[in-house]
Structure 1
């Protein structure tokens, strides 16, 4: 299928060929018939993509600070590699999609195959959209009209925040597409509407509906006109739908408002607010968030958990439905807003001139069902022969770790890249092209069914790891899974039972515990020799991650202790040469919960060694991220952030200094060699299972407030 994407590296807007998504639980697979180009939002993205590196940096000063902190902690070259890798990531454009339901995922209710629907899907021939972001189209509403659903909901949410009453005067600053739709809805609400825009044609269109239009470019004093139109009381409310960097818009909005007026920002403007202007009139100011309640809430959007209607009357989906009903009843007229309808393959006629476009609404029309938009979940990228080759791999997951760590580390390993699977198809296709894969797919089962594939590398979200590992082993292939192996005891026991039933007579399991392969850890281990007992202090200055990020969700990410601190449990197993027998974890705070990212773990080992693992998220990002201290036989080794290692009391040990090297390259190169030549697994299954159990036991220890033994 074809999809429109924006490259931030080259600045090009491209119609890319990608595999169609596979229907999944809680979602609808939709064949697109039309989509609307949001000229305001998409113009900003296209112009950002075309900007040079310095211009991009000026537009995102907060990101520049993050880059500088990363340089201090990890060095210049690794940081630049990260930045350039980020810029290579393509962005799918569009969020106003209309189409026909092609397949309904498990758990979805109220939809059937063949339904006409509007959603926030991107500009693509097939889209996969969660059910709470999809609404049915009334029979008397055309596909072209329904394409306005999502963008009109943005204006509707701004109106809901203003909460206008019948007869109030509301000013709409910016009569672009959202502004014109907002003006219509305010008129339907019984308001007196004043519209302000620099484009006279848009002012004229608004005036034809009964909006009092003002064009400042004609030398009109907008504040004076608004005051005259309101008998010098001022506007009851101002909705800003304009997009401009100037601070004058927010100032004028305050000046034209009545005392205790309301100002809502829907667009993007400068926000250097004059306290005096707001203080004297006791004005309220609020920024509107997209389509309405539920936006950016993963529970609502991705998990399909709706807000109860009696308590949250207007969610984003219910806003979609309200817009469609208004179009159906004729309260909103959208046909006059259509500037052009363009075939998908002619998309450049819209995007090529988007910076200077005077269009109000451009609609893309997609090919009818046929060869042009045939349904395929796998896309051939490169003709390669794999028969008889060893070390042939498929990757499930095309996120940041795959892109920025795994695939660069696999370069030069001798691996044969056959498949890369991603849920949406776009990220996998872009990585597949860059790194020379033969196929990009959205159907991971095609990897399991291919006899050429020796091993499957899994880098999906943590809650899917155990399931994928078992499926890979059942397909008689080696399984490499980026940590953790499992995020709860139920997953672990299910996999453990499977292994016991097979008497471990299955291909190998490898977990991505890369740090033991770092040259710094290798040097310490070699220098230690056969130390009978070891004390280890390991600290991860992990950094703060917002609580709404999926890694904190115990049902999805398992929390950062299970998901990340497990690295250090494995590292201590490797350095001590012994399995963990007992753990005790304490977290910061008076009322410890099962999920924490500020904790200390004490681990005891079968040979008498012990380790203290500190996992903290409240430290400075400018400080080293990781530090390990090893004490044994009156000797001490200190490793600082996988860049420097020194030793005390150790004869003949040469201090080691390298660029940041956490062992990823060495790990993957050894793994591909194992696939090709055989031999013992890189990490024994006993150690992998022991570390997984110790991670889960650490959480148990936090719950019970005591030591927990490892079976």
Structure 2
């Protein structure tokens, strides 16, 4: 299928051929009929991409701050690679469309194949022929509403949420500053609510359009006509609300809002304009400044948007989806007229040319629609989507695939997110003796990006085809945590060597399913991405520390830090806790240093289970304490480790420096490059095992023990007591 994309580093726009997205549960696959270009928001993004690196930095100081923090935490080289990877990737455009349901995922019963729906979301309602859209981001079209008008649903919801934040009442007078697409819709929504509206915009054509659509008067911000209209309509008191729907770097809108507001009026920011509030003016009138966050309640909440968990209507009357449905209803009943806003309709094949004309100013438009080829939907069946350490049992071992010593190791990747593209694939691309055969993703663009950047021979959303390809030697599972166990199980049954990022499983049942696949197939060629045991600095420190003869004590402090709002790591209902996803790293490192697997786990937590203390007991009396904290300072090292035994001590300082005390003291030199946490060495070991048909770098029993111990942390927190790992070696 085709999709509009842009390279944020170069500014290049393209209509790219990408794989069709998969239809996941709790959502539908929609074939686009019309999608809307938001000439304000999207052209701002297109313009930013055309800036120099300095210009990009000036336009996004928030991202610059994140980059500087990453340099302090991860080093310059790793940060540069990560930033360059993000910049030099295709990003999607679009967030408002109407289309036909082509496939219905499991758990969806409110629409059927062939239904027309309006869709929202800058990750789900893209300028693409097909999109997967979760339940709370689509709404069925009311009878009689044209699909080209329904494509305005998302921007209509943005305007509607802004109006709701202003709390207008019958008889109020409102000022709308900025009469672009959002401003024109705000004017109509206010007029439909019984509010008299004055509009402000320097473009006479937009002022004239707003008056035709219901504004009482409109004019240039510098003209006296606007001030006179406000004075006449309000008896000189000033407007009840001001809606800022303007963009740009001028502070004129907020200054005008203060002059024309009444005492204790409301100012609602809907667009993205400069907000240097003149303190005296706002203080003297005690103006109520409010922000309108996109489409409405539910926005940026992954449980609402991705998992389909609605808010009870008794507590949240107007959510994203209910705003969308309300706007569609108003348009269907003729209370909102979007047809006059349509300046141009372009065929989707002409998308790149259309963007370029808008950017160059050749095409003057309030709203532009892309029209897609008409294809009838095809009906497709919905796809359904004391802790015991399980004993590893194998049937007759499956022979390792016979390979030519000169032939390349052929790899397939399932998933191509940030970790895969920044930490794994850079070590594999262009490597002698390795061939990147295929990349599989559920979202089309990520597969196309990975193919373009790293040289995969193919990109697809068809996992079964890749697992059934006899030329593929090994499969990398680098997806979200909730899918790891099932994808690993399928790949093992297909006879592939498997490299799965941590965690291997989120529940005991998932772990049991993986081991059942090992037993059924005899294929135990599995590696979990516990890379720290392969870190060169830590391996050198362990070598110099030497073997232990008596009980050892290990302390591991992990300064994990806060997650950004909206991170999928926060989706504990589906993806497990943060420690469930990341804790295996630290348990595996402790077990490797102590040369044993834990026999019991005791965990305590601060309120909210954000900061954990995990105590692991090992055979022979050794213990390891892992302090996993999210409330530490950002400038403090992420990982520090101390191992003490037999009168000796090993210290690791965030993979930058290591030292051994006792007998002959050893201190490493500071690494000349970024922190090396072992990813490359881990991949080297895995590839050697695959190439030679040799055992995997880490015994399966150890991987299982680490996973079981990680799962036992949750059980210990629930019980408030130590948990014995029954069956531990």
Class of the TM-score when normalised by the shorter of the 2 chains = over 0.9
User: Quick check: 541-550 or 213-222, which moved more?
Assistant: 213-222
Offset from partner CA, 1:232-287 (integer Å, 9 cap, x none) = 01111111111122223122212211122122111111122233323322322211
Please give the secondary structure, in 2, of the residue aligned with 1:21: coil
Contact 1:559 1:597 (8 Å CA) reproduced = no
User: Quick check: 262-271 or 652-661, which moved more?
Assistant: 652-661
Q: Which residue of 1 aligns with 2:697?
A: 682
Contact 2:489 2:513 (8 Å CA) reproduced = no
Q: Which residue of 2 aligns with 1:526?
A: 543
Q: Which residue of 1 aligns with 2:577?
A: 559
Q: Which residue of 2 aligns with 1:424?
A: 443
CA displacement at 1:368 relative to structure 2: 2.8
Please give the secondary structure, in 2, of the residue aligned with 1:161: helix
Offset from partner CA, 1:67-104 (integer Å, 9 cap, x none) = 22322333222222222112123221001111111111
Please give the secondary structure, in 2, of the residue aligned with 1:446: helix
Contact 2:203 2:220 (8 Å CA) reproduced = no
Contact 1:33 1:367 (8 Å CA) reproduced = yes
Map 1:590-609 → 2, pairs under 5 A: 592=607, 596-609=609-622
Change (3 A) 1:464 1:623: same
Contact 1:94 1:122 (8 Å CA) reproduced = yes
Please give the secondary structure, in 1, of the residue aligned with 2:555: strand
Offset from partner CA, 1:285-328 (integer Å, 9 cap, x none) = 21111112222222221111222334333222222222222222
Task: State the distance in 1 between where 2:566 and 2:72 align.
Answer: 27
Contact 1:646 1:656 (8 Å CA) reproduced = no
User: Quick check: 462-471 or 68-77, which moved more?
Assistant: 68-77
Contact 1:628 1:640 (8 Å CA) reproduced = yes
Change (3 A) 1:309 1:61: same
CA displacement at 1:454 relative to structure 2: 1.8
CA displacement at 1:417 relative to structure 2: 0.9
Q: Which residue of 1 aligns with 2:723?
A: 708
Map 1:317-332 → 2, pairs under 5 A: 317-332=321-336
Please give the secondary structure, in 2, of the residue aligned with 1:586: strand
Q: Which residue of 1 aligns with 2:434?
A: 415
Q: Which residue of 2 aligns with 1:342?
A: 346
2:480 matches 1:476: no
User: Quick check: 685-694 or 64-73, which moved more?
Assistant: 64-73
Contact 1:390 1:675 (8 Å CA) reproduced = no
2:3 matches 1:3: yes
Please give the secondary structure, in 1, of the residue aligned with 2:62: helix
Q: Which residue of 2 aligns with 1:535?
A: 553
Q: Which residue of 2 aligns with 1:81?
A: 81
Please give the secondary structure, in 2, of the residue aligned with 1:243: coil
Q: Which residue of 2 aligns with 1:666?
A: 681
Contact 2:532 2:677 (8 Å CA) reproduced = yes
Task: State the distance in 2 between where 1:600 and 1:513 align.
Answer: 20
CA displacement at 1:684 relative to structure 2: 0.5
Please give the secondary structure, in 2, of the residue aligned with 1:615: strand
**Count of matched residue pairs:** 692
Q: Which residue of 1 aligns with 2:534?
A: 517
Q: Which residue of 2 aligns with 1:379?
A: none
Q: TM-score, normalised by structure 2?
A: 0.91
Please give the secondary structure, in 2, of the residue aligned with 1:83: helix
CA displacement at 1:688 relative to structure 2: 0.5
Map 1:9-408 → 2, pairs under 5 A: 9-120=9-120, 121-216=125-220, 219-220=223-224, 222-223=226-227, 225-355=229-359, 356=361, 357-369=363-375, 389=407, 391-408=409-426
Contact 1:476 1:507 (8 Å CA) reproduced = no
Task: State the distance in 1 between where 2:238 and 2:130 align.
Answer: 48
CA displacement at 1:648 relative to structure 2: 2.0
* Equivalent position to 1:435, from 454, 457, 465: 454
Offset from partner CA, 1:395-438 (integer Å, 9 cap, x none) = 11111101111101224263221111111110111111211111
Please give the secondary structure, in 1, of the residue aligned with 2:702: helix
Q: Which residue of 2 aligns with 1:383?
A: none
CA displacement at 1:370 relative to structure 2: 9.4
Map 1:648-667 → 2, pairs under 5 A: 648-651=661-664, 653=666, 655-658=668-671, 659=673, 660-667=675-682
Task: State the distance in 1 between where 2:225 and 2:612 align.
Answer: 60
Contact 2:169 2:195 (8 Å CA) reproduced = yes
* Equivalent position to 1:639, from 652, 657, 672: 652
Q: CA RMSD in A?
A: 2.2
CA displacement at 1:484 relative to structure 2: 0.7
Task: State the distance in 1 between where 2:225 and 2:632 align.
Answer: 52
Gaps of 5+ in 1: 376-385
Task: State the distance in 2 between where 1:607 and 1:418 align.
Answer: 47
Contact 2:544 2:660 (8 Å CA) reproduced = no
CA displacement at 1:498 relative to structure 2: 4.5
CA displacement at 1:652 relative to structure 2: 7.7
Please give the secondary structure, in 2, of the residue aligned with 1:347: helix
Contact 1:635 1:650 (8 Å CA) reproduced = yes
Task: State the distance in 2 between where 1:325 and 1:543 align.
Answer: 45
2:466 matches 1:450: no
CA displacement at 1:195 relative to structure 2: 0.7
User: Quick check: 530-539 or 692-701, which moved more?
Assistant: 530-539
Offset from partner CA, 1:587-630 (integer Å, 9 cap, x none) = 23xxx45xx33122221212432212121111222222111222
Contact 2:408 2:433 (8 Å CA) reproduced = no
Change (3 A) 1:78 1:510: same
Q: TM-score, normalised by structure 1?
A: 0.93
CA displacement at 1:650 relative to structure 2: 4.7
Please give the secondary structure, in 1, of the residue aligned with 2:373: coil
Offset from partner CA, 1:507-543 (integer Å, 9 cap, x none) = 4121000000010121122223332243222111111
Please give the secondary structure, in 1, of the residue aligned with 2:613: strand
Please give the secondary structure, in 1, of the residue aligned with 2:45: helix
Change (3 A) 1:4 1:598: same
CA displacement at 1:644 relative to structure 2: 1.5
Task: State the distance in 1 between where 2:588 and 2:475 align.
Answer: 22
Task: State the distance in 1 between where 2:163 and 2:422 align.
Answer: 42
Q: Which residue of 2 aligns with 1:545?
A: 563
CA displacement at 1:653 relative to structure 2: 4.3
Change (3 A) 1:205 1:680: same
User: Quick check: 126-135 or 547-556, which moved more?
Assistant: 547-556
CA displacement at 1:213 relative to structure 2: 3.6
Gaps of 5+ in 2: 381-401
